[in-house]
Amino acid sequence: MPRRIVVGVAGELAPGERKLAFIDGRSIVLFNLDGTLHAIDNACPHNGAALAGGRLEGCMLRCPAHGLRFDVRTGCMAGRGGLKVTTFTVAIVDSKVVVSLDEPHAPTEQARDATPYQETERCKA
Ligand code: FES
């Protein structure tokens, strides 16, 4: 059973904003993409760089170290590289932002079917 950790309060992140949360020695980045919260591990799967400072282009986050891009919604890398950043389920519970740990978040049907970014369609998470 995943552990659910409160990392903030509902409404504290406006669309386009992000926030770092430190939980049990782990660094997680929360993003508000068009009103929906997403959480990813702050470590790039390529070489471990912190993703929190990466440039966000729509739903794609560019790693500041070497420029690989990951879909914040699914964790999938753009293209066919096969790398995937760990994502976590985020929920609003009693006006608090809750992240579920221990059970990486699988891409939702909605995220897999999203079409604004072609990279998502090529993701083989
Ligand atoms: S460490 Fe992120 S692209 Fe290399």
Query: Which residue is closest in CA terms to ligand 1's atom 4?
Result: 66
**CA of 64, closest atom in ligand 1:** 2
Name the residue among 120, 97, 96, 122 with its Cα closest to residue 108. Answer: 120
Question: Is any atom of ligand 1 closer than 6 Å to the C-beta of 68?
Answer: yes
> What pairing do the DSSP bridges indicate for beta strands 3-9 and 69-71?
unpaired
Query: Over the stretch 49-66, which tens digit does the pLDDT of each residue have?
Result: 999 999 999 999 999 999
Is 3-115 in CATH node 1.10.3720.10? no
Q: What is the pLDDT of residues 69-94, one digit of tens each?
A: 999 999 999 987 689 999 999 999 99
Q: Which residue has the least CA distance to atom 3 on ligand 1?
A: 66
Question: Could you read off the pLDDT of 2-37 as tens digits, one per residue?
Answer: 899 999 999 999 999 999 999 888 999 999 999 999
For ligand 1, say whether the CB of 65 is within 6 Å of any of its atoms.
yes
CA 49 to ligand 1: nearest atom: 1
Domain boundaries, the chain: 3-115
| CA–CA gap between residue 90 and residue 77 (Å, rounded) | 20
Give the Å distance between the CA of 43 and the centre of ligand 1.
9
Residue 119 pLDDT exceeds 50: no
pLDDT of the residue at 1: 78
Find the radius of gyration of the CA atoms of the chain. Answer: 13
